[in-house]
């Protein structure tokens, strides 16, 4: 009678199919930290990195990563708009946003922009690899608190606080509002966003109407207070 045997051949980590990760963050120290986390995983590798939104699309096209780690706050360009562009040009590439922005305000926005998850930078060291694995596995990643918030809103639980006026701003309006609160002038905002001062003035008028503010002074005061509140100052 023949006896079958089970092979116990050793599989070297070098033969594993590694998932490639591309990092977009304008802080070199942060990129270096993410790179070390990624390269310490046997099944992951770093596909590339940049802090420049303008270079990112070309580099992603060449690197063809499985997943992009994307910060929303970039010195050149806007992370949310970049997320939309990545989703349009590379629909097979997963995007995981890692940001210091308030999750309750931005998580739904990044999902609508085509991202597959959101991790707060304050938790990135502990949660990043877990989030990457979930997204690569075809799931969406959000904190338990944010999942509960979205579920509660979706089922319309009585007493749940509806969207605030800030939630109702468009992505671009929110971006302009935040930059007003950071002390930037109309011309500075226009230059930063690649828009005309006239266009920024139109956004300011929209903001006053949506937030029920009487004039530019009230808009600036409201924006500054909001930015300081979000930063914990």
Which range of 43-47, 159-163, 171-175 scores highest in mean pLDDT? It is 43-47
Interatomic CA distance for residues 61 and 216, integer angstroms: 43
Q: What is the pLDDT of residues 85-144, one digit of tens each?
A: 999 999 999 999 998 887 878 888 999 999 999 998 888 778 899 999 999 999 999 988
Angle among Cα 198, 201, 202 to the nearest 5 degrees reads: 90
Q: Say if 213 falls within a structural domain.
A: yes
Interatomic CA distance for residues 66 and 199, integer angstroms: 37
pTM beyond 0.95: no
Q: Are 180 and 220 contained in the same domain?
A: yes
Q: What is the pLDDT of residues 71-84, one digit of tens each?
A: 988 877 788 899 99
Instruction: Give SS3 for 21.
Output: strand
Q: Are 55 and 109 contained in the same domain?
A: yes
Note down the domain range covering 170. Answer: 166-231
Domains identified in the chain, total number: 2
For the chain, give the mean pLDDT: 85
Q: What percent of the chain stands above pLDDT 90?
A: 55
The CATH number linked to 68 is 3.40.50.2300
Backbone φ, ψ for residue 99 (5° rounding)? -150, 160
The CATH number linked to 202 is 1.10.10.10
Q: Are 146 and 99 contained in the same domain?
A: yes
Q: Say if 11 falls within a structural domain.
A: no
Q: Say if 4 falls within a structural domain.
A: no
Task: For residue 208, count other CB atoms closer than 10 A to its CB.
Answer: 16
Q: Are 134 and 185 contained in the same domain?
A: no
Q: How far is CA 210 from CA 26, 46, 213, 215, in A?
A: 32, 43, 8, 12
Q: How far is CA 183 from CA 25, 94, 105, 178, 233, in A?
A: 23, 34, 21, 9, 15
Q: Are 177 and 143 contained in the same domain?
A: no
């Amino acid at each position: 009678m023949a006896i079958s045997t089970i092979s116990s051949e050793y599989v070297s980590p070098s033969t594993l199919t590694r998932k490639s990760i591309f990092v977009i963050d304008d802080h070199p120290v942060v990129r270096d930290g993410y790179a070390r986390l990624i390269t310490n995983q046997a099944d992951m590798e770093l596909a590339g990195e940049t802090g420049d939104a303008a270079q990112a699309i070309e580099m992603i096209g060449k690197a063809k990563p499985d997943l992009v780690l994307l910060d929303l706050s970039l010195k050149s360009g806007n992370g949310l708009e970049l997320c939309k562009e990545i989703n349009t040009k590379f629909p097979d590439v997963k995007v995981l946003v890692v940001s210091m922005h308030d999750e309750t305000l931005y998580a739904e926005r990044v999902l609508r922009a085509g991202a597959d998850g959101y991790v707060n930078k304050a938790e990135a060291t502990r949660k990043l690899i877990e989030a990457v694995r979930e997204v690569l596995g075809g799931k969406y990643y959000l904190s338990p608190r944010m999942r509960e918030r979205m579920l509660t809103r979706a089922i319309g639980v009585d007493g749940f606080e509806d969207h605030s006026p800030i939630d109702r701003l468009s992505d671009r309006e929110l971006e302009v509002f935040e930059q007003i609160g950071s002390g930037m002038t109309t011309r500075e905002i226009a230059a930063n966003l690649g828009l005309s001062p006239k266009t920024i003035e139109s956004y300011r008028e929209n903001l006053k109407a949506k937030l029920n503010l009487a004039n530019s002074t009230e808009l600036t005061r409201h924006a500054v207070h909001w930015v300081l509140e979000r930063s914990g100052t």
